[in-house]
Chain A
Amino acid sequence: DQQVKQNSPSLSVQEGRISILNCDYTNSMFDYFLWYKKYPAEGPTFLISISSIKDKNEDGRFTVFLNKSAKHLSLHIVPSQTGDSAVYFCAACARDYGQNFVFGPGTRLSVLP
């Protein structure tokens, strides 16, 4: 059973609009979350993180929101750019698991010109 879920396999958004990518998790021990972006034929690259002591973290056009009670986080990209088209992975880890992150299946974002 997947502990980290990204229920939308794909998402299309118009350039300049907001992209919202969602992630749900089942393990209440998870206390640190990351988003990675992956272009074809490249490895994933770190985008933004959030600790469970926060409910929001912002970095430029990227904001991650965490709702611990709902075990849900979301990544907002505003404004979306065509270069944001990629697969986005949500990842989570728990202190007891050391450095091992559990990844979601990914959401393919297409930003249309």
Chain B
Amino acid sequence: DVKVTQSSRYLVKRTGEKVFLECVQDMDHENMFWYRQDPGLGLRLIYFSYDVKMKEKGDIPEGYSVSREKKERFSLILESASTNQTSMYLCASTKSRGRRVGYTFGSGTRLTVV
């Protein structure tokens, strides 16, 4: 089974802190994604990557950056955490561009910024 692992289930950080959310997948997937889930808004795409060292902005990239130094790992960085970044963060991966397969999601990281 494909596994997408997010390093933390729950995080509490202070306003202004730099926050790293880590995601690792174990099935050699090329594509990786970061979403945030908020009530009434569903899943919104923050950043995605189709290859190592490649990154593309999603719909809501402001206040975030990403790093993909290795194929299996995709990190989301909150440069200076703010309270409006309190949310559930979901990482996802999928095999290859153009194939119509769904994503495999991690279990999510619930981040609270105080």
Q: How far is the CB of A1 from chain B (nearest CB, A)?
A: 12
Interface string of A27-58 (1 = CB under 8 A from B): 00000101010000111111001010000000
Please state if A43 and B107 are interface contacts (CB–CB under 8 Å). Answer: yes
Give the total number of A-B pairs whose CB atoms are below 8 A apart. 60
Q: How far is the CB of B106 from chain A (nearest CB, A)?
A: 5
Please state if A43 and B97 are interface contacts (CB–CB under 8 Å). Answer: no
Question: A43 and B108 in contact (CB under 8 A), knowing A99-B94, A104-B42?
Answer: yes
Asked if A113 is an interface residue, CB under 8 A from chain B, the answer is: no
Question: A42 and B108 in contact (CB under 8 A), knowing A49-B100, A99-B98, A99-B99?
Answer: yes
In this complex, the interface size class of chain B, counting residues with CB under 8 Å from chain A, is 20 to 34
Please state if B94 and A105 are interface contacts (CB–CB under 8 Å). Answer: no
In the complex, chain B residues 23-62 whose Cβ is within 8 Å of any chain A Cβ: 31, 33, 35, 40-45, 48, 50, 58
Interface string of B80-114 (1 = CB under 8 A from A): 00000000001010101111101111111000000
Q: Which residues of B contact A (CB under 8 A)?
A: 4, 9, 31, 33, 35, 40-45, 48, 50, 58, 90, 92, 94, 96-100, 102-108
The 4 closest A-B pairs by CB, nearest first: A43-B105, A105-B42, A46-B102, A103-B43
